[in-house]
């Protein structure tokens, strides 16, 4: 996925295997598409995006003519054009083995690096030469590979939600952690995966690039460009599809049939399938049960491919955008290395706190609490230490609610009683004030808004530092809005006065009766 005008910089953070290659060529790329039977609409105009420094950022896609809704602009065959762990030269030559639960993105990075090492001998050479010569500035790389600018950006953001995501409290590494849990010790997991699995495989295959830097470069390409294709290929680099820049208001989308056999990739019934006794079809094709089998097989017997489909009218001369998903600014910074320009993109969808008391709430009380409008349900798959957060709607996670109830009111049950009473009365005020104190304690750890705005306005500041300042400023805005909601729109000043009175009203041991045993993270 190309970063285009969204990317803030072209930064030589890593030693790129492509850095010494000739400039990218649109002509070579288009010839490669023709040779690999990719259907490419001639109304698409590919343009190279240049930074002020003259470095190549990537390409963008524009409309030469008006394009109507539901048209298919590109058809990309899966087996001959998409670069996945199933189709790479490394698989055909040595069939490398990785732990079954390895991150698909980590595994694909090994295959991409091997193809890069083949140079012009790679079947994907005409496509790979179109990749940017330098890695995008993924937030995970800032501290280690982005120089002074990266260090300043990391220092600015390490107590923010971005810092939480990158560091995850320095927990034990899980090499097999899936990238769906974006950010969980990812840099450390990459280091361990490279040492234990990637480097031995690449060395055996006589790969020319046997450095962690080269592996990280390949990973940065996968992180910022790959698509989930289906249960056979998992994630893959998809030529053409990865050229469209991101916008929430996108005009095209990528689609591919994902109901293939996970053993051989076949769309039509194959020897690996277990047939349904009712329909005579494989279970993976059960959603076609109302279609005659002969008619279905005729539909499926074509070339299995991915399509770029138009979902809204595109006028002549407009840039054509895809969407990378409903992602927050922090997710885009971590996985793609840019910040969106659109105001509709949330800075972050959650802000975490690190509790000193981890609650093991009963499932019944959790269900009752989670039904309240001030509470957001917690997914059971989320690790216990990640379950204490607030969202932009000022809703508390179930576990954060329980922690505040224990620390402010003395028990989970007292918290539930207060919630059932609509947060009214003295106990309700104590609870609300406890929430406000916690939010304010988090705000106090972040840099002041004036300083952050000053960084954004200062032309001498580096692009990563500005990216970090923008993220922290957005997080402050969310926290301030959450605090206002818990204070109440009409009685914020009265509640603030109550907070001061509660501060003065201490127990005999000198501790406030509303003191929290919960820390902001950082």
Q: Do 386 and 515 reside in the same domain of the chain?
A: yes
pLDDT at 175: 38
Q: Do 221 and 351 reside in the same domain of the chain?
A: no
Distance CA 59, CA 2 (A): 6
Q: Assign residue 224 a region: left if phi > 0, alpha if psi is -120 to 50, beta otherwise?
A: alpha
Cα angle 473-178-88, degrees, rounded to a multiple of 5: 115
pLDDT at 243: 95
**Residue numbers of the domain that contains 429:** 346-520
Listed in sequence order, the residues at least 6 apart from 437 whose beta carbon sits closer than 8 Å to its beta carbon are 499, 514, 516
Helix (H, G, I), strand (E, B) or coil at 308: strand
In a domain, 441, yes or no: yes
Tokens 């295997």, residue located: 17
Query: Contact 230/258 with Cβ under 8 angstroms?
Result: yes
Structural domains of the chain, count: 2
In a domain, 120, yes or no: yes
Distance CA 150, CA 155 (A): 8
In a domain, 192, yes or no: yes
pLDDT at 145: 77
Which of 322, 355, 387 is at the close of a domain? 322
Closest CA relative to residue 239, chosen from 17, 10, 26:
26
Q: Would you give the DSSP letter of residue 245?
A: E
Q: Do 306 and 441 reside in the same domain of the chain?
A: no
Q: Would you give the DSSP letter of residue 179?
A: T
Q: Do 228 and 359 reside in the same domain of the chain?
A: no
Q: Would you give the DSSP letter of residue 312?
A: S
Query: Which segments of 347-398 are extended strands (E)?
Result: 351-355, 375-376, 389-390, 396-397
Q: Do 350 and 318 reside in the same domain of the chain?
A: no
Helix (H, G, I), strand (E, B) or coil at 239: coil
In a domain, 279, yes or no: no
Q: Do 135 and 77 reside in the same domain of the chain?
A: yes
Q: Assign residue 488 a region: left if phi > 0, alpha if psi is -120 to 50, beta otherwise?
A: left
The structure's pTM equals 0.83
pLDDT at 295: 60
pLDDT at 502: 46
For residue 213, what are its two tokens? 């830097």
**CA 297 to each of CA 65, 79, 152, 259, 291: distance values in angstroms, whole numbers, following the listed order:** 36, 19, 58, 14, 10
In a domain, 58, yes or no: yes
Q: Do 377 and 506 reside in the same domain of the chain?
A: yes
Domain at 261, CATH number: 3.90.1410.10
In a domain, 272, yes or no: no
**Per-residue tens of pLDDT for the chain, all 522 residues:** 444 344 444 444 667 888 778 888 999 999 999 999 999 999 999 998 765 333 446 799 999 999 999 999 999 999 999 999 999 999 988 788 899 888 999 999 999 999 999 999 999 999 999 998 888 889 988 888 778 888 999 999 999 999 988 876 444 334 333 343 433 478 888 999 999 999 999 999 999 999 999 999 999 999 999 999 999 999 999 999 999 999 988 999 999 988 888 888 888 888 898 888 877 778 888 777 666 666 666 566 667 899 999 999 999 999 999 998 888 899 999 999 888 876 557 788 899 997 655 454 544 455 555 567 888 877 767 777 788 999 999 999 988 988 899 989 988 888 888 888 888 889 999 999 999 999 999 999 999 999 999 999 999 999 899 999 999 999 999 999 999 999 985 444 444 444 444 444 444 444 443 444 444 443
For residue 93, what are its two tokens? 């030559």
Q: Do 229 and 362 reside in the same domain of the chain?
A: no
Q: Do 496 and 463 reside in the same domain of the chain?
A: yes
CB neighbour burial string for 159-194, b if at least 16 within 10 angstroms, e if fewer: bbbbbbbbbbeeeebebebebebbbbbbbbbbbebb
In a domain, 336, yes or no: no
Q: Do 384 and 306 reside in the same domain of the chain?
A: no
Q: Do 197 and 99 reside in the same domain of the chain?
A: yes
Q: Do 19 and 110 reside in the same domain of the chain?
A: yes
pLDDT at 127: 97
In a domain, 358, yes or no: yes
């Amino acid at each position: 996925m190309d970063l285009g005008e969204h990317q803030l910089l072209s930064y030589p953070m890593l030693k790129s295997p492509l850095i010494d290659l000739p400039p990218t060529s649109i002509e070579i790329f288009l010839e490669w598409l023709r040779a690999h039977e990719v259907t490419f609409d001639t109304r698409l105009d590919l343009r190279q995006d240049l930074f002020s420094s003259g470095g190549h950022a990537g390409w963008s896609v524009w409309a030469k003519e008006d394009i109507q809704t539901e048209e298919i602009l590109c058809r990309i065959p899966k087996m001959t054009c998409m670069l996945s762990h199933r189709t790479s030269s490394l698989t055909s030559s040595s069939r490398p083995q990785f732990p079954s639960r390895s991150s698909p993105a980590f595994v694909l990075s090994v295959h991409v690096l091997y193809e890069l090492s083949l140079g012009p001998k790679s079947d994907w050479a005409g496509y790979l030469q179109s990749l940017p010569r330098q890695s995008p500035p993924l937030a995970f790389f800032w501290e280690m590979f982005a120089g002074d600018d990266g260090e300043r950006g990391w220092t600015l953001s390490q107590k923010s939600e971005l810092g939480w995501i990158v560091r995850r409290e320095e927990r034990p590494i899980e090499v097999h952690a899936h990238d769906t849990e974006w950010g969980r010790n990812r840099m450390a997991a990459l280091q361990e995966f490279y040492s234990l699995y990637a480097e031995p495989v690449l060395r055996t295959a006589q790969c020319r690039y046997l450095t962690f830097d080269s592996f990280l470069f390949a990973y940065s390409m996968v992180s910022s460009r790959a698509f989930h294709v289906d249960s056979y290929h998992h994630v893959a680099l998809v030529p053409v599809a990865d050229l469209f820049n991101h916008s929430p208001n996108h005009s095209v989308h990528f689609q591919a049939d994902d109901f293939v056999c996970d053993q051989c990739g076949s769309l039509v019934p194959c020897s690996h399938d277990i047939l349904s006794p009712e329909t005579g079809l494989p279970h993976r094709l059960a959603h076609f049960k109302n279609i005659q089998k002969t008619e279905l097989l005729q539909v499926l017997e074509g070339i299995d491919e991915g399509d770029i489909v138009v979902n809204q009218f595109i006028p002549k001369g407009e840039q054509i955008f895809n969407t990378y998903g409903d992602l927050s600014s922090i997710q885009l910074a971590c996985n793609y290395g840019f910040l969106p320009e659109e105001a509709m993109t949330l800075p972050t969808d959650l802000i975490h706190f690190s509790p000193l008391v981890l609650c093991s709430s009963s499932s019944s009380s959790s269900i009752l609490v989670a039904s309240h409008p001030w509470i957001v349900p917690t997914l059971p798959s989320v690790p216990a230490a990640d379950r204490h957060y607030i969202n932009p709607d000022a809703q508390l996670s179930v576990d954060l609610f329980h922690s505040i109830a224990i620390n402010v009111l003395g028990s989970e049950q007292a918290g539930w009683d207060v919630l059932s009473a609509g947060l009214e009365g003295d106990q309700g005020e104590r609870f609300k004030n406890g929430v406000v104190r916690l939010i304010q304690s988090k705000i106090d750890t972040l840099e002041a808004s004036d300083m952050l705005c000053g960084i954004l306005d200062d032309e001498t500041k580096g692009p990563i530092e500005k990216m970090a300042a923008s993220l922290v400023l957005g997080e402050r805005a969310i926290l301030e809005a959450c605090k206002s909601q818990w204070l109440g729109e009409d009685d914020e000043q009265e509640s603030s006065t109550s907070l001061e009175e509660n501060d003065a009203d201490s127990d005999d041991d000198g501790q406030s009766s509303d003191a929290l045993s919960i820390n902001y993270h950082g």
